[in-house]
Amino acid sequence: MSHAALCLASASPRRRELLATLGVPVRVQPCEVDETPRTGEPPDAYVRRLARAKAQAAAKLSTLPTLGADTAVVLDGHILGKPRDADHAADMLAALSGREHRALTAVAVEGPAGMLSACVTTRVRMRDMSPAEISAYWHTGEPAGKAGGYAIQGFAGAFVSEIHGSYSAVVGLPLYETAAMLRRQGVALWHGALP
């Protein structure tokens, strides 16, 4: 097994899988940060702040470059968080039904080049979803713990009629921007996989 080249300040299996596609072995170091939005804080500033806070918190516990990320689903300027229960998920998905929303993902990497960060906005349009479909989707177990109550890479992919921007960012990590920041921090991509 390869030695870790990056400390990931997240327990998200999706982010770990996305980093694996870049060939970057990680050490997982989840860090708790206060995720309460500040009064009047724009959604892009919110996700940037959380990504940086996570990277900084992990950097205190590791000698490796550290990566933090945060994703928010935004509809009509309001952040839709993670569903509290089935009713909350149903309300969120009904609001997203037949409409376009924004998925914002910020990534921050703390390392030898200092703190680097980026925020990527992807526009996602959902088709109309019936209450029965929304209920059935909740019962798959997938919406729990997901921003906006859905996972584009899972069953909810069937609800997405259009996407404009980075698919990987909606999943949880914008690969293009992440790869560029990792290179600037001296983290080799596809380590051991290239001749």
Residues annotated as catalytic (active site), given as ranges: 70
Q: How many residues are present in the chain?
A: 195
Q: Provide the 10 A C-beta neighbour count for residue 162.
A: 10
| DSSP H helix total and E strand total for the chain | 6, 7
Contact predicate 188/65, CB 8 Å: no
Contact predicate 37/97, CB 8 Å: no
Contact predicate 149/143, CB 8 Å: yes
Q: In whole angstroms, give the CA distance from residue 146 to residue 159.
A: 15
